[in-house]
Structure formats: C-alpha cells, structure tokens
Structure 1
Amino acid sequence: MQVFKFGGASIKDVTGVKNLVAVLNKTGYKDTLVVVSAMGKTTNALELVVKNYFDRSNQLQSSIQDVFKFHNAILLDLFDNEKHEVFKKVSTLFNDLKVFLDRNKSPDYNFVYDQVIGFGELVSTTIISEYLNEVNIKNHFLDVREFIKTDDYYRSAKVDWEETQKRITTNFNRTQLNITQGFLGSDSNNFTTTLGREGSDYTAAIFAYCLNAQSVTIWKDVPGILNADPRYFENAQLLHRISYREAIELAFYGASVIHPKTLQPLQRKEITLFVKSFLNPEGKGTKVCKEAGLDPQIPCFIVKKNQVLISLSSLDFSYIVEENISEIFKLLHLYKMKVDVIQNSAISFSVCVDNMYQNLDSLLQHLKAKFKVTCTEDVSLYTIRHYTETAKTQMERDKKILLKQLTQETMQLVTK
C-alpha cells in the first residue's frame, strides 16, 4: 500500500491536474490512496469568504463567485462536454456552501472557518476524481470526514485515533485506487473540522498508519526537502536523507515542507516518507526513514515571520519561579498561543509566540495584572540546525536582534 499526497501548488491549474495523471502513470497506482489539497490559493480565497461573512457582508457573494469562477474555468478546460456530471457536482458543492452561510447561527469564527474552508478540498477531489475517470484511471471517491474523526477543537482538531482506525479498517477498500481530501475530518456531530494549515500531509500519515502502508510520498514543487526555504535564503541545497528524529526537529522549528504532526505516526510504524518533485517524478527526492543522520551534514535554515515577542518581569523585582511560569503557560494555553521560543532569567521571562487565533490583546491584559509586560509584534524567528560559525555570522548580519539562544545543535534569533 502506498499513499500519495498532492498539495495545492501541484494542482493549481489544468496543467497541474494533467501532470498528476502523468505522475500516476509513471509511478503506477496499484494499491494506492491519493490525498489531495485545495487547488492553488483556494484556501486563501475561502478565508476571504469567511472574513466577508463576518465583516463585509456586501462583498460575500462576489467572493464566493470568484472561487466558483476559478474552479469552473478549470472544469471547462478539462472537460469537453459542459453537460458532464462533474459540473453539476461542483455547482451543488457551492450551493451547499451558500446554504450553510445563509442558515448558520453560530457566531464562533473558528467553527464557521472550518465549515467554509473544507469546501476547497471537496471541490478539488471531485474535479480530479472525475477527470481520472475521464482518462480511464478508475478510482473511488472517499469523503475523508467519514473516516477521520476528531474532537471539536476547530482549526486544529485532534484525531480520535481509536475511532479513526476502526472506520478505516472497516470501510476502506484496498483493491482500488482511492482519492480523498487532505486537511479535513469531522467531530462527533459530523461537523467539518480541520487539522491545521498544511494538514494534508498529516492526513496522508494518518491513513498510512491505519493501513500499515509501505510508504508515503508528498509531491511538491521542489526537488525534495531543502536545507532552507529558497524564498528567503539563497543557495538552498537538497537533503538526500533525513532521520525521523531530525525531520521532527526541523518540523518543530517551522520547516514548511513537512507538517509537524505528520512524522509521529510514520515513525511509530517505521513507514518511509518520500518528498519528491511532481515535475520530476522519477527523481530520488528526499527519503525520511529510520536511518540515522542527515545527508549531507549541512546547516539547515528556517524562518517564521509575523511572530510576537512577549517579555515579562515581576512588578516587585522578585524571582520568576516555577509558580509564575506555570501560571504564564496556563494563560498561553487559555489564549491558544503556539510557543516557539522560551528564555528566562532570575527576574524575567520571554516567549516568542504565534498569534494564530488573534487573542493577543486579551492575553496581554491578563498578564499585565501580575507582570510588567513588553510586547513586540511582527518579529521574525530564525532557526539554524547544525549551525557553524560561518552560518551563525551570516544569520546575524544586518539584523536587530531582540533575543538569541544557542544549544549544542540549534541557534535561534528573534529579530525586528
């Protein structure tokens, strides 16, 4: 059994969809599950729909229509006959989206977000499944929400592994090519949930774990896992092989190629992960496996933008002790802040966080009741794994450094 995952960049247009077919024909698709993301920038476009629903209702219908037009243009290029059933299926999905927005009573942004965003994956898999059938690659469309069950922590749901395993074991047919959505699940009330941004990789790993798959391949627009994001760093190099441990470290620090939660289930069953280019499917790409080490052994550079640095000190110059730190972390958890860096001294405590849920103001108000608080928004967090003196000097050049932390293998800088 093998699991393929195709991200939004790989199916962003007609050429991408046809290239997916070419990849399947070159690699073979016997005993295969294909996990698909939303097409191109659809998730961003649907985020605008959610924003308009809450803040600019006069622009809501036009933003939905923009998403529909994007997909309809792809349909018109893929299918000669406008009476093909796929046009009706896609129109029905967009109608379902409108019905939800008309009837929804919940003021919960995160709940609405998940119900709306999920249509991106549902539309993309509908189009691709129908096109595969059109070119005689027979496949079975699966609604992932019937297989992956989660709690109701919308936008970052936790998987109910026992129920998910039971459903996949009972209902998944291994004898055919299956296609399903990444990123999505459903809660106990069958409302759509999402697994966090880039969660399609995680979806592939969940199925691989439950199916005891031999491998997972993530098809991307890069040759494999690079030692740096070429959008921010020059001369990025391909990593040929990475251990699970090293890949988990890189993911934790924010490497964008692999979702942080993807690797744990693969590691538990020693399922090999390949990251390959969909433009060169026969290339070796990067292999993530049990084997130790990093090949080649070079520094790896990571940057996370739009972070928030919060620095706390006691109002009376008393020590910041375990009790204080425990209280601080309870508040960070309460306001759903993802912690990326921690640094503390006798009378101060600094933390770099990701304000994904826009709860910063409420958190700061709570903290100011007991601490002197300094907050710097829109900072960048740079991380170097396996840093060298040359890499360290290069990273520090021409930057205003607000926080610096070094361990034996990792250097981190918060800069403005």
Structure 2
Amino acid sequence: MHRTGLRRAGSAPALDPAWLLAKAGMPADDWQRQLLACGDRRLLVCCSRQAGKSTVVAALALHTALFHPGCLVLILAPGLRQAQELHTKLRGIHAAVSADLGAWAGVSRLGAVETVFAQGSRVVALPGNEARVRGFSGPRLVVLDEAARIPDSLYASVRPMLAVSRGRLVAMSTPFGKRGWFWREWETGKEWRKFRIPWNLCPRIEPAFIDNEREALGDAWVEQEYGCSFGSSEGLVYPAFDTCLVRKMPHPLAGEAVGGIDFGWRNPFSAVWGTRDREDLLLLHGERHKTRTPLSAHAQALPRAVRWFADPAGRTEIEELKGAGLRVWPAPNAIRAGIAAVHGRLESGRLQVLADGCPNLVAEAGKYRYDTDGDGEEPLDRDNHALAALRYLITGLDKGRMARVRKPG
C-alpha cells in the first residue's frame, strides 16, 4: 500500500474502499461492502440488473488507482459506450471525494476514455476489441463489465497480461444463457471467488417491480436478468434470441425502413419495424402491440415511410392499409420455412433488436415453444404475435434467399 497516501488521506479511505462510496453519498450495500473488502485475485460476480454492480466496480477501480501509484487499471466492456459509462461513474466518485483526499489524489489528464492521476496511475476504458487490448501490459486490475457478453477470444487475451503483474481480474455480469467463458467459469472454475447477487439482495429493487417485469416480459427473462439464472432454453423456438438483443442503438440509423404486421382484434394486432442497412443487417427498434383497436387507428399510428410485409391471410386489412397510404405487401406464410429464415439471421448476426423498443417481441421470444407432447415440429400457437410479425418481415425480405435454399440440388 502507498504509505504517503495512507498518511495524507487517513486510514479509512486507504483501508476501506467502501469509504469512497459513503463519501460520494452512495453507502455500500452489504454485498458491495463484502466484495470491496475481499482481496482475492479473481472475482466472478453474477449480478441482477440495477443491483449496483457498476457502482461497486467503479469504486474498486478508483481505489486501486489511487492507492497503488503508477498502476494501470483497465475497464473492458462489450462496447465502448458501456466502458465509457463505467469510467464516467468512476470520475463522479472521484469528484465527490477528491477534496477529502488532497492534492496527491488529483488528476493530471482527463479524457473520455482515460484518467491519469497526479501520482502516475492510469484508468483506461476500452471496448471488447482484442486488438486494442493487446497493446497494454502489466495491469494492476482488469475489470470485465457485462462479462457474459465479452467474447471468449478477448477473455483469453486478457489472462496472459496478468501473469507478470499478478494483477486482479474482476468479471461482473448478468447471465447470458448457458454459453461462453463466463458461464463455464461460473459452473466449473476453481480459481474464482464467486458472488451471486439476485434482485432481493438489493434494497432498492421492490418486489412489485419484479412482478411487473414478470408480467410484461415473462418468467425466463426475469430469472435471467434479475434472478441470476443461466436459464435453460430447452423447447424454445428461438433459444438464441437473446444473442441479438442490444440495449442501446449501436449505430446511427441508415438504410431502408422495413416492418412486419400480424393482424388481430381479440388477439393482439402486432407490428415491428426497423432498418435494414447496406450490409443486410436488420435492426428492429419499434413495435405496436394492441388488442381491440380499429385498423384505422393502427393505420394512423404506424410509421409511414416503411415497407411493410403482412400476414397474407389479411387481404382485406392489407387493402385498407394501402388505402390509408401505407406500403404493404403480403408475406409468405410457410411457418417452418419462416422460422428457419429467422434462425438464419440470428445465426449469421444479421438481426439486432433494441430490447427497450420491442418489449413484447422480447417477451414472446422467451415463451414461444414447441409442443413437447406432440411430434416436436409444430410450435404451440400462442405467445407468437410479435414473433409472427417478425417472421412475416424476414420472409418478405429474404424470400429470394429462402427459395435458393429450398431449391433441389
């Protein structure tokens, strides 16, 4: 430990990282205090959303940088924006405590992705890009945020850089299915100190909120996002659907506006829409999902500059929407071929869905299942209205590709 820093700042901040959170007006929860106090070199944290994992790891990174002068701290996340947000949280904590610590803890250089302290330590935030990470060596601490979504290749490139420095590796994430290095280490890794933090260990998350999430998004989604469950996807029609979900717009929208429609009255009328770019990446960011609503109201609410593909059984509805000025075409309606087309985009990475923009689509993907009591080939005809709209959209866009795939020989 840095003796000069300890003498100037007093023993509390040097010995107790939770002091940083208390001084910043964010008293640590019990689990956060336990994590900050432990000295294990490998920490694996499976954590509910909104439980405070970004806050606690920002405090840990700041404490490491302050009390180990001249050290390097790396913050890695799947995307640059996520890494920057954690870095911003660290800077906010530092701003709240810097007056108490004194000049020795000041900042000599500040940027969007890097903070350099007066005593020589650096904190650098990076996206999950293996090539960029390989340029660093000897970190005192590496933080992997949303670690379940960080590729195996990046994880493999991080480990060797800790060999000489004997630095710490802290990986924090909500689960992302039974796949990838994070799940494997959670299940079988022997070198890790493991923390499991479901929603009920966070005093700020109320049971009523979880009940509402469960009703809106389904049990499977809630158990993964809030219950720390690496849930089984057995029986789901689209078991890998969560791999296409994004939390924020990954890039500016550019390309053709397209959408799909499944008609309904007592069952929901459901529409999904988004943009297909030049690389054939389909990004869905909006939906409409309503029951007992006149088609004229849907026609007024749907975006106009979209090329729509709709349930071909709704010929009358298609003509009415056309009469209202919308561009609508009947889509192919071969269910098995349509499901295969959706799988094709999922497997090739050509489908992305903004989770907050399409909540009903996300919820249905966690419920739509095959009839395991039957022959296993036909999905149960429920929980599939937004997914039907997605299927119509993709079969409409990809019908040429589907025809080539089905062509004999």
The interval holding the TM-score normalised by the smaller chain is: 0.3 to 0.5
Structure 1 length normalisation: TM-score?
0.33
Higher strand share: 1
Please report the TM-score for the alignment, with normalisation by the length of structure 2.
0.34
Larger Cα-atom Rg: 2
